[in-house]
Every structure is written in C-alpha cells, then in structure tokens.
C-alpha cells in the first residue's frame, strides 16, 4: 500500500468527487464499518488512515485507466 504517494492537489479533487455520493451508498471496509458520505468526507479532510486508503484506491483506478488508454 505504501507504493502509492498521493499528490497534494488530489485530496481536493476527491472531496469534490465524494460530495456527489448518494445518501444510500455505503463503502464497507472491514474493521472500519459502513461509511456514508458524511464519514468519508471527514476522513478525506483529515487525511487519516481511511482517507489515505480511499485516496489510494481512487489513484490506483486512475493509474490502471491511464495505462489502458495509453495501450489502446
């Protein structure tokens, strides 16, 4: 997991993105519970362990997507 370094501007993008999260959706993370929009926004703003995990997952997806586009 430490292979991911989060660019500083990426946090603001994430906060803006997760602000669109619908009220019924939950991100269920073992050991951390079922997180709704409010909790996720708090973790992203704090940049704590969960915030970092979410940022890594989003960045991971973007990296894979970029590789696909470049190979296409």
Partner 1 sequence: MNVLITRPEHDTATFYLSKWSEPLIKKCKNKGFRVFDLKGSKANIERFNSIVSSKKPSFLILNGHGTKNAIFGQDNKQLLSMKNLDLPGKPIIYSVACETASGLGKDAVNNGVQAYIGYSQKFIFIADQNKASRPTKDELAKPFFESTNRVPEGIIKGNTAQRAFEKAKSEFKKQMIRLRKEAKTFEEELVLKYLLWDFMFLSLLGKAEARL
| Positions that interact with partner 1 (CB under 8 A) | 1, 20-31, 33-34, 36, 53, 57-58, 60-61, 64
Determine contact, residues 44/18, Cβ cutoff 8 Å. yes
- The smaller minimum CB distance to partner 1, of residues 7 and 22, is found at 22
Residue of 48, 36, 39 whose CA lies nearest to 11:
48
> Residue 21, SS3?
coil
- The smaller minimum CB distance to partner 1, of residues 7 and 31, is found at 31
Smallest distance, partner 1 to C-beta of residue 43, A: 13
């Amino acid at each position: 997991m430490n292979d991911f370094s989060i660019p500083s501007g990426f946090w603001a993008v994430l906060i803006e993105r997760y602000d669109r999260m619908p009220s019924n959706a939950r991100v269920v993370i073992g050991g951390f519970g079922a997180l709704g929009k409010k909790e996720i926004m708090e973790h992203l703003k704090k940049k704590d362990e969960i915030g970092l995990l979410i940022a890594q997952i989003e960045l991971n997806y973007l990296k894979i997507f970029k590789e696909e586009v470049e190979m296409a």
